[in-house]
Amino acid sequence: MAVTVTETAAKQIQKQLHKRGKGLGLKLAVKKSGCSGYAYCLDFADHVSEGEQVFEQLGVNIIVATADLSVIDGIELDYRKEGLSEAFQFNNPNVKATCGCGESFAV
């Protein structure tokens, strides 16, 4: 499977979709950005477009553009709380380097 989700991340996605009141799932994408080359983008998805794949796991859908799969194949989406901050974490086995500020990565 190209995308996996931890139980903590699945619960957070469900919570956010419930709070939003609608949505099919979470869209995970990459864009060219930053010092190292790519950055992750997350958004809610209300439908699946042509050229996108759906990965259903633990009761949530992660929608990914087929074109992005080569960069994120094997990624695990996690959600962590550390002190006062909380955020989705991307455990991507394809990452070869990250920039110093942590905003972008290279494959």
Question: pLDDT tens digits, residue range 19-51?
Answer: 999 999 999 998 887 666 778 899 999 999 999
- pLDDT value at residue 11: 96
Q: Which token pair is 64?
A: 């990914």
**1 pLDDT exceeds 90?**
no
pTM to 2 decimals? 0.83
- pLDDT value at residue 75: 92
H helices of the chain, in order, are: 7-20, 69-72
- pLDDT value at residue 45: 95
**What's the whole-number mean pLDDT along residues 92-106?**
61
Contact 80, 65 (CB under 8 A): no
Q: Where are the domains of the chain?
A: 3-106
User: Considering the domain 3-106 in this protein, what is its CATH number?
Assistant: 2.60.300.12
